[in-house]
Chain A
Amino acid sequence: MAAETLTKAHDSHAAVEDGSNWGGGKSPFNVSYGKLMMWYFLVSDAFTFSALLISYGTLRFSSPEWADPNKVFNAFPFLEGWDVPLGFVSLMTFILILSSVFVVRAVQEGHRMNKDGVLFWMFWGIVGGAAFLGCQAWEWMHLIHGGTTLWWNPYGPQAFGMLFFLITGFHGFHVFSGVVLNIIIWIQASQGVFHRRGHYEMVEKVGLYWHFVDLVWVFVFLAFYLL
């Protein structure tokens, strides 16, 4: 595996260095237009999320005290009254990572033109995304019942509630649209659209978006639950 990767990397670097890819007539990045544009969208979206998380950091730094995540996020469904700091959010993180992995597997099966494989793994990717959304709904409900609103919360400075709901909400909205896109892809794949087209690149493009959602969660998890 290592040898293959090396050869491929070597080839691509050589191609960039001697400029042969930049003479026109072929993609200098070796990707299609659609995939490149998905990447540029994700770069811009990364800056949107960065701005949100950095404003969270700024407000947090400006405040003499802050909510302790181990005390805010210590509830677990069906274990009422238990003190499980970070337990539920760890489960959510794991669900989202696995969902991302399932979609990578769908992309790989797409490279082999294996329609059943794509459908199988994409299905589990969708299930993972939906499970994550369910978990988030439960966590929101739990906090709201505990008195956390946009304007007030029992854990610390006023801004905590607003920032939490705004940022996890914006991420959750991305998860939701990702699940919708994955479902559309699943339906199209099941109807043989991509098979007739001769490639499963749509699975890759939507997959990129789905992994990006997972990537953002790494930093939301860092900012709200760990630091």
Chain B
Amino acid sequence: MADVNITVDGKKVTAPAGTLLIEACKSVGIEVPSFCYYPNLSLQGACRMCLVKIEKMPKLQTACTTVIGEGMIVTTDSDEVHQARKGMVELLLGNHPLDCPVCDAGGECELQDMTFSYGAAESKYMEPKNHKEEQQWSPVVYFDRPRCILCYRCVRVCGEGMDVWALGVQNRGVGSIIAPNKEDHLECEECGMCIDICPVGALTSGAYRYKTRPWEMTHVGTTCTHCADGCKTTLGVRRSESGMEIVRGDNRDKSGINGDFLCIKGRYAFDFANREDRLTQPLIRKDGQLAPSTWEEAFELIGKRFREAREQHGGQAIGVVGSNRTTNEENYLLQKFARVVLQTNNIDHHRTADFPALAAALKGKPGSTASMRDVFHAPAILLIGNDPTEQHPLLAWQIRNNVRLHRAKLYVVNSADIKLRRQAAAFLQIPAGTEGRFAAFLAGDDSAAEGLGPVAGANAGESPAATQNQQTTLGGFREQVRGEQNLVIIFGAEIRGGDIASLVKFGSGVAGAKLLCLADYANSRGAADMGLYPDLLPGYHPITDSGKFHEEWGGVPQAPGLTLPEMVESARSGKLKALYVVGANPVGRFAIDPFVFSQSFVVVQDMFLTETTALADVVLPAANAYEKSGTFTNTCGDLQLVKKAGEVSGSKSDFEMIVRIADAMGADVHKLVPFGRGTTADMGQSRGAQSGEADRHAVWLEAHGLEPKMSPFDPTAILDEIQRLVPGYEVSRLNLVAGSDQHTALVGIATGAAQDPKLIAPATDNLFSSGTLGRYSRTLNSVMENHSRQPVESEVAAD
């Protein structure tokens, strides 16, 4: 668009036509205050804080609703403007309670800031304030009516941003109130966006209210540990008797791929960390009972038993199960440990998507994967399978807001009438289980169309023209999608194996098409990329193919190992002598008969006692992803930092435990973790009296452009190796450390053995569940309980 020139406070400003005055001012560093204006939400013009003087206009104008015009001369900083803003603050304070000392928002309240800026501390209004009791609208949302300044941000973010429309405004004038959709409570997705966006303390969170003050916390921006979208969540932590306690999750750091967005899990479901039943001591089975022991005793025992198993029965007698929630460094280290030290390729994890098939299909097609940011900017999106609203809340947000703000065209193919259908330009309902056939049909196999019908082709969307598409046929749909450009093709776990190749084939016929494969857990993609497969090394490198990994590591068995079900069978026949489970619950997840492992020596690293620890010989208390450093790769392939926020004394990171076990087995730790390069100083003291010291050193070193890597427990040493050896991970380290997301390219190196699609078991989580981990979140449980209870419709009318 053509540029428009204006003058603001004597400064020349040039901005594209159509820019709002408030944004034009912001672009040159002139702050125009506002409550109701929020970028990317509809304009409200309710608070009148952004009043500015525009020459030739008789009265002060609201900068948030004024579009800039050529030659406009604007004054944002004059006595008249100040007086107007002061008057607005004074009116807002008229009935605003003076409970800042106990209000959650105190210290980060926009009304407080404005009062300091424009000074309206003295009130001429002497009447008693109109008080109303606070209301609980849901387990996580509380409403304190008198604090509300009626900016309507919450109403708009819930409706426009989330497409939930659970909040409204009732009554009028001074009687106006924000109202929930079910008379006295909310029925919604519990995302907490309304709380985060509230400029004051009118909406507060059940998880955080009255717990602490903002300035008493340290804020750590890290990556969420729940679904595979990889939102950046800012955790507020403070010291507690057991280490560092996470008190709050929010997204005050808006630099992440999620921008303004966080769902309930990212915002509230950190509370598993401080549960009473968290393991804080290693447990060793003695006389049939798990009894507390010391770390030394535990590592010594594990080292001895693993060594015996390897020496007496060979590596094939040992199985390893990795995790979808441990960092890339831990996953890489685990498979390296398995292959190099345990001498086994029997390594697997809970697979939720067929990434190896995607990598193989994309061979020779670099740059064909979409990042999470691409989903927000792509002009067209094809979504096959999955229900992102439930399973990938950020992805759903990106799609929804791309359609709303950029008019992207969304094509949805699903067996169910999913919520994103409302944004779809075209929707095809196909019978469940035929998604793969649909992919083949897209790729040009017309015979696959049979059995896809009866297709309830229908259309959602605002335009009346949409009804024309009622008659959408399969062929018409395919032609329409094929005609798009820069299409992002998103598919769920319904599409596996050869069907992915079909989609890639279809995509190669669309200009600029990119693919996005949906897995279910925070680091599912990382687990796959880092080679938690019996026949694939990191970067989907076939184990049988000698290459740089074999050269670098030396002596790695080249025969493919056992998959998880094969390990179970091996244990049943008494061949599997040892099983090492890191951060997973295979017994609970796959309903494995626990007696199968009665002949095996089982070691489990976990936070809690699970179905799998019930049959363990040794249980090691593990730190979770909020308590360690490293990197996660989200389902799109965006690599992001995981930063240590909380700490529970008595637990160790999986990284440290793997290294300690290797050491106890007599392995050369230097070969496993290339740390230090000659320096042997150990800064890994992250517990006891020296607690936090390593972190402080790390901060200093990072600030000086150095990285510690002086301890064998330092994941950055492994990150070096990952970046050196895993194709696609050669991203900018500087940007990564600075906290930016870095898209890794999925580079198919060689076509590895096709994976059995039956090994993929989708997590089937919804908005309020999160695998085994979700069980331990009090907030998620209380919300689920609340939703399952059928609310009694009361007859009381609002007035």
Whether chains A and B associate is: no
